[in-house]
Structure formats: C-alpha cells, structure tokens
Amino acid sequence: MPAGLRFSGRRFSAADLELIEEVTSTFPALSRTELSQTLCELLAWRRPSGKLKTDECRALLEHLEACQKLTLPALQKTAPKGPRRILRTDASLAQPPLSTSLCELQPLTLDLVQGAGHPGLDLFRQFVSRYHYLGYRVPFGAHLHYLLTSEQLPGQILACLLFSSPAWKMAPRDAWIGWNDRQRRHNLQYLVANSRFLILPWVEVSNLASQALSLAARRLPDDWHRCYGLRPLLLETLVDSTRFRGTCYRAANWIHLGSTQGRGRMDRNHQAHGRAVKDIYVYPLRPDARRRLATSRSHVKI
C-alpha cells in the first residue's frame, strides 16, 4: 500500500490504507457493497447528513484494485435501486400467549437463516420490524441472523437474534481489553456485536432469553468462521438501560463494563453528550480472549 492517498476530498493515511487492505483480504465473502459499508463505518466516512459515503468508498476500492493494491470480490448481480421496504404479512401477526416452563420447550434449536430468498430471513425481518423498539435495518458488513425454535412446538418461532459488526470505539470496552489503537485496528474483526435480540412479545418463558444467548455463544463461532473465515474472540452488546436491566445478559455470564458516552460518530462537538446512553456488556468466547486481542495481528492464532 502507498504511504498515503488523497481521494474524493479525503486524505487516507498509511494506517487507513492498511485497514482497507486488511478488511478486504479478511472478508472475501463480502460483496463490494458490504465491504464499502463496513469500511465507511470503520473509517467514519460520512456526509454531513450522517449518511455513509458508500459510493465514494466503492470508487476508492476499485481505484486501488486498478492500481493492483488489492483484490476485490467479483461483481454480483444487484437488486433494483431504491429503499428496501419490509412487507409485513399475516405471518408476523401477534400469536396467542405462550406461557410455559423452559424445560417444557427443550430441546431448543437455534436456526441460522441466511441468504436472499430464505423464508426464515423474511420472517425474521418482519418480526424485528414489528416488535423490536429499534426496528430492522440492513446490517453493515458481516452479519448472521438466527431464529430460536423448540422441537416441542414445530413451526413456532420464539426469538430472533442478529449478530453483526462491532462498534469501532468504546472507551470502557477498549480499556477492559487493554489494546492500543493499532491493536484495535488489527483485531476488531475478532469482535461480534449482538445488535438485535427479540423475545417475541407473546412468549413468556422464564430464563428463555439467557438460554438463547448461551446457545448463540456456543454456535456462532463456528458459523462465523464458516461464513467469514475467522473465529471471533469476544461478543459485545449495548443495552438501553431506560428500557431494560440487562438481566438476561448477566444471567448468561456476560460482563457489564460500564456505559457509552451517549454520542454518535457524527457528534464531534459533543452536542449530544448524555443522550442515548447504553450499558456495555461483553462475553469472552475464550478464556484468553483479552490477551489475544491485546496483541499484534500476526500473533493472533485462533
């Protein structure tokens, strides 16, 4: 990579270009669009409105490929342009209350629903769009969708879990890991965020949420490795403490690290300080996760 580059009104440092090269080589299964979205998030490359500069980022990637600085995935057939609207059907309407014990639902199954056209993925999007307070947005970069079911209730969905790219910076998390900026840039790819978790509102089963999180922690590393070529070391999530107490995460042995500053990436003047403050929880997927994350990439052996 060159020592630096100016492109589309922005100067990219050698470290920026190194990050771009690392992400494109580490996630060969991502499309060019997904790579552009992921890199814009990591580089905080946005318009004044806050929208990601994905078109400019894709042009940069293609420029670097033309200069033989990196290799991009082959072009994929794209969907028609325009907003992606989730069509809500009767399949996601509220169902009769389900109140039972956890043991009556065993064994539970966590189903990976991935890929365009998967019927479970469409239902996942409908449920989260209808019943999660944040709604559903197409996740940036690498991500996996799961539906929780019970063999005792064939065809009935109990919960939805979405895992996606982690936050670029969070002071309590970064301090807990003990990594420096360079280590974070290299090893952030080994973190995965639980960005949506929804127990469907008509399901009332004690300890179901913590059981779902435990199942996910056991299954996700293999799925992530198969889909994206690396095995995560740490899970993270943000909990809105004005709505939830984080009880299920604590019960599943997630570690509470503190709170966010309540700022978005575009709040450079600290005008939104204290808004949308959320509790930070993490779950190490290996006993030595912190040590492995706080080292150079060349020494991370998974």
Taking only the tens place, the pLDDT of each residue in 118-158 is 889 999 999 999 999 999 988 766 899 999 999 999 989 99
Q: What contacts 24+ positions apart, CB below 8 Å, involve 175-183?
A: 176/255, 176/257, 176/282, 176/290, 177/234, 177/290, 177/293, 177/294, 178/290, 178/294, 179/293, 179/294, 182/15, 182/296, 183/293, 183/294, 183/295, 183/296
- Using only C-alpha atoms, the chain has a radius of gyration, in whole angstroms, of 20
Tally the C-alpha atoms within 13 A of residue 163's C-alpha that lie toward its C-beta: 24
One-letter-per-residue 3-state SS of 119-173:
HHHHHHHHHHHHHCCCCCCCCCCCEEEEEEEECCCCCCEEEEEEEECCCCCCHHH
Of 197, 212, 84, 215, nearest to 131 (Cα)?
197
Distance from first CA to last CA of the chain, Å, rounded? 26
Dist CA 29 CA 73 (whole Å): 7
Given this structure, which CATH class describes domain 105-299? alpha beta
3: DSSP letter: S
Dist CA 159 CA 34 (whole Å): 26
| Contact predicate 16/9, CB 8 Å | no
Q: What pLDDT, on a 0 to 100 scale, did the predictor assign at position 240?
A: 93
Question: Which helix (H) or strand (E) covers residue 34, if one does?
Answer: helix 32-43
3-state secondary structure of 198: strand
Dist CA 149 CA 274 (whole Å): 38
Dist CA 121 CA 256 (whole Å): 30
Q: What pLDDT, on a 0 to 100 scale, did the predictor assign at position 51?
A: 75
- In order of 26, 40, 60, 234, 283, the CA distances from 32 in angstroms are 13, 12, 11, 26, 30
Per-residue pLDDT of the chain (302 residues; tens, 9 = 90+): 556 788 877 889 989 999 998 898 888 888 888 899 999 999 989 876 677 888 889 999 999 998 888 888 777 655 544 445 788 889 889 999 999 999 999 999 999 998 777 889 999 999 999 999 999 988 766 899 999 999 999 989 999 999 998 988 899 999 999 999 889 888 988 999 999 999 999 999 999 999 999 999 999 999 999 888 889 999 999 999 899 999 999 999 999 999 998 754 333 344 444 457 899 999 999 999 999 999 865 445 55
Q: What pLDDT, on a 0 to 100 scale, did the predictor assign at position 217?
A: 97
Q: Which residues pair with 275 in a beta bridge?
A: none
Cβ atoms < 10 Å from Cβ of 89: 10
Of 49, 79, 45, nearest to 61 (Cα)?
45
